[in-house]
Amino acid sequence: MTRETDYAIRTVLCLSKKENYTSKAEEISKEMQIPKEFLMKILKQLEKAALLELKRGVSGGVKLVKKPKDITLYDVIVAMENVIALNRCVINKGICGLSSQCPVHPIWFKVRNKLIEALKEIKFSGLLTQGASS
């Protein structure tokens, strides 16, 4: 996972805490310790993925489009990285000439599918309650 994706997860987590509130980028940057220039790039990507809404101007800010219970870790990771893969050959067999005879390839494929299943089950609403109890 890239640093950018980690920051995106932090951003959605921050916005999930303030579900019906329009946050300023500066607030998110400070609270989540994300450089503001980097945050703006992340916000644009999350907006493109229809996870949040950006309003520019004096009364502008950032707000989630969906409720935290409807956003998963999978949604955010895919918004930032396009795919989830432990190895490139799992996404495109043509990259490796050994894929068809490689004993590890089916294992990567199974692990990737299990990871995707798990990430789809982790909702931001659950992360909020988990964080509050720890």
Tell me the pTM: 0.85
Domains plus CATH for the chain? 3-133 (1.10.10.10)
Point out which residues pair with 52 in neighbouring strands: 64
Tell me the pLDDT tens digit for each residue of 108-129. Answer: 888 889 999 999 999 999 998 8
Pairwise pLDDT comparison (19 vs 44), residue with the higher score:
44
- 82-104 per-position pLDDT tens digit: 888 776 666 666 666 666 677 88
pLDDT of residue 38: 92
pLDDT class for 134, splitting at 50, 70, 90? very low
Residue listed under structure tokens 């795919």: 83
Distance between CA atoms of 82 and 50, rounded to whole angstroms? Answer: 14
Question: What's the confidence (pLDDT) of residue 78?
Answer: 96
User: According to the model, what pLDDT value does residue 133 have?
Assistant: 46
Q: Are 57 and 63 in contact (CB under 8 A)?
A: no
Average pLDDT along the chain: 88
Alpha-carbon distance values, 5 to 50, 80, 83 (Å): 16, 6, 12
Q: Which of 17-21, 68-72, 125-129 has the lowest average pLDDT?
A: 17-21
